[in-house]
């Protein structure tokens, strides 16, 4: 076990909002492949912007599953490397880590046992905070499908059935992936300030212990 924590959850669970407030208001160092945290890693930003959406939209057509997974690997390696660089800090939280990418790939039919075994060999967090959001709330936050990408639903088109189907399956896959770790489930349906209070109630005592 190491000193970092992981914030995990399905799509539109409110992770980005919570992580931003942890960073800007409470001094937590966030490790993520979201653009706002990639100023010092422009190569990873370009890969994410130019590869991920294109690759998943055309997996099995323009690109083989092996090629799609090969493009994801550097992104996951960046999370591992960044965690190593900030290992001496007390307040470190990683966005989803490899858990979400691995689970989504498996659910969408992209399996690579050797690659997944390598990801699972990475250092594990002190604990996992899981933002649990209902399908109705997540669907509403997605603009009833208007904001979805092809990595967030089953099927070719973004329908409610396809979205809910993937998110429900993802919840089970994520919780299974972190079943051996200390886990706290956070209610993601409540207002953001209440979510943040729930998260801080877990994190802050760990920092000062």
**Which tens digits make up the pLDDT trace of 143-171?**
999 998 888 999 888 999 999 999 999 99
Q: Which helix (H) or strand (E) holds 31?
A: strand 29-31
Residue 1 confidence class, pLDDT cut points 50, 70, 90: very low
Q: How far apart are CA 6 and CA 116, in angstroms?
A: 18
Is pTM beyond 0.95 here?
no
Residue 53 confidence class, pLDDT cut points 50, 70, 90: confident
Q: How far apart are CA 156 and CA 150, in angstroms?
A: 7
Cβ atoms of residues 148 and 57 within 8 Å:
no
Residue 159 dihedral angles phi and psi, to the nearest 5°: -100, 160
In this prediction, residues 169-179 reach a mean pLDDT of: 96
Q: How far apart are CA 163 and CA 13, in angstroms?
A: 13
Q: How far apart are CA 9 and CA 49, in angstroms?
A: 21
Measured CA to CA in angstroms, residue 183 lies from 27, 59, 128, 149, 194 at distances of: 22, 33, 5, 28, 19
Q: Reply yes or no on whether the pLDDT at 184 is more than 70.
A: yes
In this prediction, residues 31-45 reach a mean pLDDT of: 91
Cβ atoms of residues 74 and 45 within 8 Å:
no
Q: Reply yes or no on whether the pLDDT at 209 is more than 50.
A: no
Residue 204 confidence class, pLDDT cut points 50, 70, 90: confident
Q: Reply yes or no on whether the pLDDT at 208 is more than 90.
A: no
Residue range 84-101, pLDDT digits in tens: 999 999 899 999 999 999
Helix intervals (H) in the chain: 15-26, 42-47, 53-57, 65-85, 99-107, 113-120, 135-141, 160-177, 192-208
């Amino acid at each position: 076990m190491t000193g970092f924590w992981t914030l995990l959850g399905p799509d539109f669970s409110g992770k980005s909002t919570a992580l931003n407030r942890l960073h800007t208001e409470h001094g937590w160092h966030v490790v993520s492949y979201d653009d706002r945290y990639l100023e010092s890693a422009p190569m990873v930003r370009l890969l994410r912007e130019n590869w991920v959406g294109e690759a998943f939209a055309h997996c099995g057509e323009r690109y083989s599953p092996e090629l799609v997974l090969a493009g994801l690997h550097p992104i996951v390696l960046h999370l591992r490397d960044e965690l190593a660089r900030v290992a001496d800090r007390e307040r470190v939280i990683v966005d989803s880590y490899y858990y979400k990418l691995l689970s989504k790939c498996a659910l969408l039919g992209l399996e690579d046992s050797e690659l997944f075994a390598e990801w699972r060999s990475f250092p594990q967090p002190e604990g996992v905070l899981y933002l649990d959001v209902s399908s109705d709330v997540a669907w509403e936050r997605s603009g009833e499908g208007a904001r979805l990408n092809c990595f967030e639903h089953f099927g070719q088109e973004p329908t409610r059935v396809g979205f809910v189907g993937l998110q429900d399956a993802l919840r089970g896959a994520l919780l299974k992936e972190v079943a051996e770790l200390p886990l706290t489930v956070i209610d993601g349906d409540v207002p953001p300030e209440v979510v943040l209070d729930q998260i801080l109630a877990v994190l802050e005592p760990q920092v000062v212990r």
